[in-house]
Chains A and B, each alone.
Chain A
Amino acid sequence: MTALMKVIDPGLHTTIQDLGRHGYQEFGIGPSGPMDPWAFKLANLLAGNNQKEAVLEITMVGPTVLFMENTVISLAGANLSPTIDGKKVMMWQSIYVKKGQELRFGKPKHGARSYLAIAGGIQTDKILGSRATNVRAVLGGVDGEALNSRDEVPGIVLKDSILKKRGGKHLSHSLRAYYRPHQIVRVIPDEQAAFFTQDSQEDFYNETFKITAQSDRMGYRLEGKGLERKKDGEILSDAVAFGSIQVPRGGAPIILMADRQTTGGYPKIGTIISHDLWRVAQLLPGQTITFEKTTLEEAHRCLEAEANVCKVLEMAIKQR
C-alpha cells in the first residue's frame, strides 16, 4: 500500500468512512458510515470507483492535505471552498492532481459535510469488515481516530493513462444537491408515537425545530416545542435505526445519526426515510427542520429511484 495523501492539518473532524460496518449490531457495534450517504456515493462514482469505497468525510472546517502521488480526486457534498495550490476548484467533479500539490479548504459556503474520494478508494486496514471510523469504539480509520496531522492516507497508485481518463468528470446540475438552511424531511411514524399526547404528536409535524450545537455524528439534538408524554414509564430498550427520532423525558427530540448506539430506551416518534437523510446531515447548528409524515411505499419508491440514478451514472461515467 502506498501513501497517497499526507495530512498537514486535519481540520475540525475529518474521518475515513465507507458504507459502514454492517452485521455486528447484535453485539452492540454500530455501523457508522457516511452521514450523507448520497454525497458519499456520488463522490465515489465521480472518481470512477464503485459506490462503496472508503472516502474522507469532512466536517465544516476542512483539512489541508498534500498529495504524495499523482491521483484523481472528486469532491461532493457541502461546499467548503476547496482550493488546489491556491486555485479555486469546483464541487461535484473529478480532478486530476499531481504529486506535490496541496488541497486546502476555506470558508464553509453551503452545507456541513463534504466527501473527498480518491481513485481506487482509501486502503486503510479493515476492522470487522469495514474501514469506517467509529471514534467512540476506537474502530476503523487510522488507529480508530479522526485524522490527525501527519497521518498518511494509503491508496492505490494507478497509471497516469487511467487517471487522465478518470479526471474532469462533472455531475449534471440536475443531480447536485442544494443545501438550504431549512429542510423538510419525511418520517415514517413509529408505533411508540403513542407514548406522546395527541397534541404533541401533531406538534411534531407542524412545528419547526432548530438544530442545536449538541449535534454530531452520533445524533442531532433539536430545540423547539417540547413533546409531552401521555403515559408514564419508559419503553424496554430496543433497536434504533439511522434517522430514528427518540425523545427523552425532557421533550426535546434527538435524531440518531451514523455513529448512534444500536439500542435505545427512549420512545421513538418516528424514523426519517433513508432518501432524506442527506438533508439532515447537511444542516448546521442554528438551521431548522420540519417533519412530514409519509408511507413506507413512498420511502421505498425513493430508494428505487435513487438506485436507478446511481446505476445510470455509473455506466455513463465508465463509458466516457
Chain B
Amino acid sequence: MYPSFSLVGDRAIRMTFAREMSEQINADIRRTFHELKNKEQYPYIEEMIPGYTTLTVFYDPLIVQGINQMKTELMKAQKTHKEEFLTYRKITLPVLYGGDKGPDLSSVADYHNLNEEEVIHRHTSREYLVYMMGFAPGFPYLGGMDEGIATPRLKNPRRKVEQGSVGIAGKQTGVYSLTSPGGWQIIGRTPVSLFNKDEEVPSLLRSGDRLTFQSISQAEFDKIIHQDKKGIFEPRIEWKNDEGRKDDQDGEKKN
C-alpha cells in the first residue's frame, strides 16, 4: 500500500510513493511537498527532502503530537489536490560544448560512432526532469537523457571538475554545482551558477523543474559568465502547467 511510512531515526519519517521512479510519481511527491509546506497547518515539520520515490519529512519530536497522528495528517495531505494540474518551471541552461570546457565530448562521440555535433544535438533536444536535488548544494538529479549517448564513467576520476561542468555518467546527465572531484564524462560547461549563497533561494533549480540545454558559442559563454558573476544574468524561465503534459501521457498509453 502506497504511500508507506518508515523511520529515518527519531526526527524524520520517510513516505515512499512507489517502487519505481516515474514522472507521475514525481508529480505526486511534489503535490504532497507543496501541501506540507503550509507552516501553520503543520508546525512540527522542519524541512523536507523529495527523493526519486520518496518524500522524507524532518519533524520536531518535541512539537509533534504523537507519531500516529502525524502519519494520519501526512496521509491526508497526500490525498489533497491530487487532481489539480501542477505548475512547473521550464529552464533553459546555456552550455558551451567541447573544447577545454568539455574535454570528454570527443570520447563520448567516439564511443557511439557519432560526431561531436550529433552528441550535442542529442543532448540539447531533450527536456530533462529534475527528479531530486542532493549530493551537493544546487546539484540536480536529472532524468530523461537519450540513451544513445549513455557512456560509462571515467576509469580514473578527475581530482578536480570545475563548477558548471556538464557530464554524462551511464544513463544520467548532470551539472556539477560546485568544483569537486568527479568521474563523469565532461562534455561542456554552463556559465550559469546553480548555487549562490547570497540569494534568498540559493539554488537555481528545484525538484520538479524541467531543464533544457542550449548550445552557445565561446563569445556567449564569456558574456554570460561575466553577467552571472555580477548577478545580472537571468536564465530563461517559463512557467507551465502539466495539463498539456497529462494529455500527452494519456495519448502514449493508448498507443
Partners in one complex: yes
B91 to chain A, nearest CB (A): 14
Give the distance in Å from the alpha carbon of A240 to the alpha carbon of B175 in the complex: 22
Contact indicator A300/B10 (Cβ below 8 Å): yes
What are the residues of chain A within 8 A of B225 when measuring CB–CB? none
Q: How far is the CB of A84 from chain B (nearest CB, A)?
A: 36
**Chain A window 210-243, contacts with chain B (Cβ cutoff 8 Å), 1 for yes, 0 for no:** 0000000000000000000000000011111111
* A137-B178, A237-B51 known; A127 vs B197 contact (CB < 8 Å): yes
> Do B49 and A263 have beta carbons less than 8 Å apart?
yes
Asked if residues A28 and B197 are in contact (CB atoms below 8 Å), the reply is: no
Provide the residues of chain B in CB contact with A274, threshold 8 Å. 9-11
- Say if the beta carbon of B190 comes within 8 Å of chain A: no
Does A60 count as interface, using CB distance less than 8 angstroms?
Answer: no
Residues of A within 8 A of B8 (CB): 190, 239-241, 244, 268, 271
In the complex, how many angstroms separate the beta carbon of B174 from the nearest chain A beta carbon? 12
Interface residues on A, range: 35 or more
Whole-angstrom CA separation of A23 from B201 in the bound complex = 11
User: Which A residues lie within 8 Å of B135 (CB)?
Assistant: 28, 237, 261-263
Question: Interface residue tally of chain B, by bracket?
Answer: 35 or more
Q: Does A27 contact B202, Cβ atoms closer than 8 Å?
A: yes
In the complex, A19 Cα to B50 Cα: how many Å?
23
Q: Taking A127-B197, A191-B6, A303-B61 as contacts, is the C-beta distance between A239 and B137 under 8 angstroms?
A: no
Is A199 at the interface (CB under 8 A from chain B)? no
Contacts A26-B206, A28-B139, A28-B203 given: A303-B134 contact, CB under 8 Å? no
Binding site for A on B (CB under 8 A): 6-12, 14, 21, 46-54, 56, 58, 61-62, 67, 132-139, 141, 177-178, 195, 197, 201-203, 206-207
Instruction: Pull 10 A–B residue pairs with CB atoms less than 8 Å apart, ordered by A.
Output: A26-B48, A27-B203, A238-B51, A239-B8, A239-B51, A243-B9, A263-B134, A273-B9, A275-B10, A299-B61
Which residues of A line the B interface, CB within 8 A? 22-29, 127-128, 136-139, 188-191, 236-244, 261-263, 268, 271-275, 296, 299-300, 303-304, 307
